[in-house]
Amino acid sequence: MGVILNGALLGLVALSPKKLLTGAGIAHAWLLGVIIWGGLGWQGYAIVAAYFLVGSGVTRVGMARKEALGIAEKRSGARGPENVWGSGLVGALCTLGYLLLPDYGNLWQLAYLASFSTKLADTCASEVGKAYGRHTILITTLQPVPKGTEGAVSLEGTAAGVLGSLGLASLGWGVGLVSPWGVGCAVGAAFVATNLESVIGATLQQRFGWLTNEVVNVLNTLVGAVAAVTLVLALNLGV
């Protein structure tokens, strides 16, 4: 079912006049989708599909303005393989963990949801902040910096990030992946991880060539997944 449905949906993406994925990106997204459907079923697939659709839409918000400033995503926002796995590698690993260690199934589901909630928070914060942020500051110094600066944050972007993670985490509750407590932990973890990513961007990313945006995305989603599980276990909450 995952092979057929994912193939059909990505076929529609390939035919769309607005390119959401490159050709190679479609192939890698197909593999990611099959893994997730095979492990977490339609519920898990609903999360990654919602992330992709909302994230792609948000990337195009204020595109003309961002392109004029030279801070728009490359390829006008079309995702390639590096973007697919930068966003989805941790989610795929959580899916495999769910299959291999089913006794911890609820925690794997929470970690999976938190990873994508974190990535959507990051995407919403970055794209809305670049398009509509009125006062952009560097997270480490609180000094004004130009939009698009690594480690820059804005009130508008931060609010968009929280709303994005809340929406996706709530969907996770709606499809039965987590409890209401899980929603709160996923959103809290996404907030922590997204701001930590901004700190990394402001302090380390320019110093180390291997810290590409995709590597930072993997670290970001990993922190979100681990933080959500840690919150649940530390507070002894029902997932």
Q: Please indicate whether residue 173 or residue 146 has the higher confidence score (pLDDT).
A: 173
More confident residue, 62 or 40: 40
What is d(CA 149, CA 70) in angstroms, rounded to the nearest whole number? 11
Across 106-112, average pLDDT = 97
Residue 136 reports pLDDT greater than 70: yes
- Closest by alpha carbon to 56, among 79, 84, 75? 79
Strand, coil or helix: 152: strand
Please tell me the distance from the alpha carbon of residue 182 to that of residue 113, in angstroms, as a whole number: 9
Residue 209 has pLDDT above 70, yes or no: yes
Can you give the residue ranges of every domain in the chain?
2-235
Q: Give 235's pLDDT tier (boundaries 50, 70, 90).
A: confident
Tens of pLDDT along 182-202?
999 999 999 999 999 999 988
The C-alpha atoms of residue 134 and residue 156 are separated, in whole angstroms, by 8
Residue 111 has pLDDT above 90, yes or no: yes
pLDDT confidence of residue 9: 81
Position 207 pLDDT exceeds 90: no
Q: Which two tokens stand for residue 182?
A: 């899980």
Residue range 50-98, pLDDT digits in tens: 999 999 888 887 776 766 666 666 666 677 889 899 999 999 999 999 9
Neighbours of 167 (CB within 10 A): 17
Residue 82 CA to residue 177 CA, distance in Å, equals 27
Quick one: pLDDT band at residue 238, thresholds 50, 70, 90? low
What are the CA-CA distances from residue 121 to residues 42, 165, 236 (Å)? 22, 5, 25
Contact 123, 58 (CB under 8 A): yes
Q: Is the pTM of this model over 0.85?
A: yes
| Segment 124-128 mean pLDDT | 92
